[in-house]
Amino acid sequence: MQKENYIVTIIGRPNVGKSTLFNRLIGERLAITTDVAGTTRDRLYEIVNWQGKEFILVDTAGLEYAFEERFKEDIQSQIEIAIDEADLILFLTDGKTDITDLDWFAAKKLKKANRNVILAVNKIDSLKEQDALPNFYKLGFGEPISISALSGKGTGDLLDKIVQELSKIPAPKLKKEKPEEKKIRITILGRPNVGKSTLLNAILKKERAMISEIPGTTRDIIETEFNFNKNKIAIVDTAGLRRRGKIGKVAGTGKKTKIGSIEKYSALRAMRSASEADIILLVIDATEEITAQDQHLAGLAKDLNKGIILVVNKIDAVPNLNISALTSLLKRKFEFIPFASFVFVSALSGKNVQNILELVLKIAEERSKKVRTHFLNNVLEKIVIKNPPVGIKNFKPKLKYITQTGTNPPTFTIFGTQTDKIHFSYLRFLENRIRENFDFSGTSIKIEFREKEK
């Protein structure tokens, strides 16, 4: 079953509180917030889960036409790209000011784009300020939602509204396939210049993607379909993903590039491709140290509940490479994805590349595997007897019943009482026990809790 992966984009003029709202909704301070208009020039994206609905939230720079000229064109193109890729737009305005020309400009762009839009009025901190709300009906997007991103007031209602609107959208960006056209979808991710396009060509055994020593050559996604051992596979190459603060800048200088907006476009397209994949090939350069960005991309693949293969490339460029020592290092650096598979290759010579596709088929099989409820409950019973659930704040959760409720990714629902009080470490413990008994190597799995009705 193909997973729904929606993109929700925050749009608005500068200084209305987009980054503050972004931080509030994702629950982390990942975006820089300041009173200086136009601070957020690099688009940010994170995964949000609310009431069982998962979506990718995107923060953008301001919609503007009077900002510094050297950034104006770049920021505008980012916004247009973000709107084009979005399934739902969160149009943010400032309740402490009247509707401005920039608000009207943004509204015009959004209506022209013909996207689903939620209008939110920020900085409404008191009942008196609620009086400003009727004025925003003029923008033409129906009833506005009042919020205070700074204090969190109304943001729960806003998330409820987002989930409600997404439920009306039938997985718009996903390709619906007939059963006989079922494909295993692979996305290649990695930092610039680690050899992703060379790896794609080695897998396909033909020059399908343009190769260059210049980092960032692949600026758009490249998708190719082929057959392997009677299985149809769709593989996507993506642009190299740098850390968000580095996107659109010359390496080592911090200066903006003329192709900055193209790179940011590629980053969002890569996110979309990753969200639609079954398996992620995360390419790592054997000639370089493992970086925080490598780990971030692995974390992204895990959060998206994908199958993961760490492809260590350029092994022929490392004299006397100790595979055993490198494997130990990888396990330490990527201990948060202990289920991931490793393969050591030279995309340039083709060494071990065929092993990747064999692993892909094995992982795809694991992602489609169904475990009978009887066997699952036998395991759960033994777990609970030997290691009862650990709760927070002296709560004592109880687990009653488990069943597998989905595949691709394998999803398990556990019924019990006070399950919302289960400590996160016990969730990891449960996952490890499930894997010990039923494998699921190479892929993320999902465990969900549901309160048993009295």
pLDDT tens track, the chain, 454 positions: 344 578 898 988 888 888 889 888 887 544 545 454 544 444 467 778 888 788 888 887 544 444 444 445 555 565 676 677 788 999 999 999 999 888 888 888 888 888 889 999 999 988 777 888 899 999 999 999 999 999 999 999 999 999 999 988 865 444 444 444 689 999 999 988 899 989 999 998 854 554 444 444 444 456 788 889 989 999 988 876 655 444 444 444 444 444 344 445 556 677 778 888 999 999 999 999 999 889 988 988 998 899 999 999 999 999 999 999 999 999 999 999 999 999 999 999 999 999 999 999 999 999 999 999 999 999 999 999 999 998 887 888 999 999 999 999 999 999 999 988 888 889 999 999 999 999 999 999 999 999 876 5
Q: What is the dihedral of CA 341, 344, 349, 350, to 10 degrees?
A: -20
Cα angle: 437, vertex 440, 444; to 5 degrees? 125
Closest C-alpha among 87, 100, 74 to residue 14: 100
Asked if 391 and 421 count as a contact pair (C-beta separation under 8 A), the reply is: yes
d(C-alpha 270, C-alpha 89), whole Å: 19
**How much is the pLDDT for 270?**
75
Domains 6-166 and 373-451 share a fold: no
CATH superfamily label, 6-166: P-loop containing nucleotide triphosphate hydrolases (3.40.50.300)
**Other beta carbons within 10 Å of 221:** 16
**Which three-class secondary structure state does DSSP give residue 119?**
strand
Amino acid of residue 243: R
**How much is the pLDDT for 206?**
58
**How much is the pLDDT for 130?**
81
Site of tokens 């608005």: 12
Q: Is the CATH code 2.130.10.10 the one for domain 179-242+269-367?
A: no
d(C-alpha 100, C-alpha 120), whole Å: 15
**How much is the pLDDT for 218?**
41
CATH superfamily label, 373-451: K homology (KH) domain (3.30.300.20)
User: Which residues make beta-bridge pairs with 5?
Assistant: none
**How much is the pLDDT for 238?**
83
**Which three-class secondary structure state does DSSP give residue 45?**
strand
Beta strand ranges found along 257-334 (DSSP E)? 279-285, 307-313
The CA distances from residue 231 to 67, 227, 234, 340, 397, in Å, are 52, 5, 10, 22, 44
Predicted TM-score (pTM) of this structure: 0.66
Going by the DSSP 8-state scheme, the letter that residue 123 receives in this structure is -
Closest C-alpha among 235, 241, 291, 295 to residue 267: 241
**How much is the pLDDT for 251?**
47
Domain ranges of the chain: 6-166, 179-242+269-367, 373-451
